[in-house]
Homo-oligomer: A and B are copies of this chain.
Amino acid sequence: MYSIGEFSRICGLTIKALRLYHEKELLVPSIIDDATGYRYYDHKNAEQARIILYLRSMEFSLSDINEMLSDADDDIEVLSFLEKQKAVILGKIQKQKDIAKSLQFIIKTEKENGMSLQNVSFDVEEKEVETVLIAGVRFKGKYDECGPAFGKIGKAMGMNICGKALCLYYDADYKESDADIEACMPIRKGKPVEGISVRELSGGKCVALIHKGPYQTISRSYEKIMAYIKSKGYTTTLPSREVYLKGPGMIFKGNPENYLTEIQMIIEAV
């Protein structure tokens, strides 16, 4: 005969749990002192406690355990409980796997988004850009409106997207609104669908400058790049490009001060 504290140490259930199980009639002490309310447990209780611990370790709910122990005669019923629980657990595993997968995906993309912060220069450069296959949505409007366009491309192309989003600007001069813009994503393969064109965007030599900070301040970078082009006497072709090296992530806006946007202006072949 053990007091609740002793029994707790013996069977590995906390006193709180023992009192709860008593209340739920899952594990009723073999003797309860009427006068004092003290609970006293015996070996049969210990056996029962072992079973309960085992079932709890398989994440059965207390009410399930209660039913299982009540219908202990009926082995078939018990088996059905086990099968049901197994199905529940397998379902949970599948769900957690899905979660792990999307976590991994977003970790990857957020990391890629963060990586580009390192080792970038903020001076005007001349470089080669490669020809890539893109999916694009062209529209007239304001810069802000390319968000939904990227969303549309993302939905249509899904896993075929293989690089940073970019915008093509078909206007020669800066337009606040009603600008002629094409939102593009590099893709591995894909077919044009309603509103989305798929084609190659040809590369070549270009003048490029990485702009750091929110989009609102990008005009300063445009000034710099234009000054450089003028000083070199280059002629550039439309459309100009903005590659969003680091912008608002899929989920988080991030800190706009850390946004990186590369402006590319293709140099006309001489």
Using A58-B102, A82-B107 as known contacts, say yes or no to A75 and B251 having CB atoms under 8 A apart.
Answer: no
A100 contacts B111, C-beta separation under 8 Å: no
Tallying the copies of this chain within the complex gives: 2
How far does the Cβ of A117 sit from chain B's closest Cβ, in whole Å? 9
Q: How far is the CB of A115 from chain B (nearest CB, A)?
A: 11
Q: Bound complex: CA of A82 vs CA of B86, how far in Å?
A: 29
Q: Are B96 and A51 in contact, CB atoms less than 8 angstroms apart?
A: no
B-contacting residues, A30-81, CB 8 Å: 51, 54-55, 57-59, 68, 72-76, 78-79
- Are A89 and B96 in contact, CB atoms less than 8 angstroms apart? yes
A118 → chain B closest CB, angstroms: 12
* Interface size range on A against B: 35 or more
Of B74, B96, B104, B252, which one neighbours A78 at CB under 8 angstroms?
B252
B251, A54: Cβ atoms closer than 8 Å? yes
Q: What residues on B are CB-neighbors of A240 within 8 Å?
A: none
Interchain CA distance A96-B100 in the complex, whole Å: 14
A-B complex: 6 closest residue pairs judged by Cβ atoms:
A73-B255, A86-B103, A93-B96, A89-B100, A82-B107, A72-B252
User: Taking beta carbons and an 8 Å cutoff, which residues of A are in contact with B?
Assistant: 51, 54-55, 57-59, 68, 72-76, 78-79, 82-83, 85-86, 89-90, 92-93, 96-97, 99-100, 102-104, 106-107, 110-111, 113-114, 249, 251-255, 258
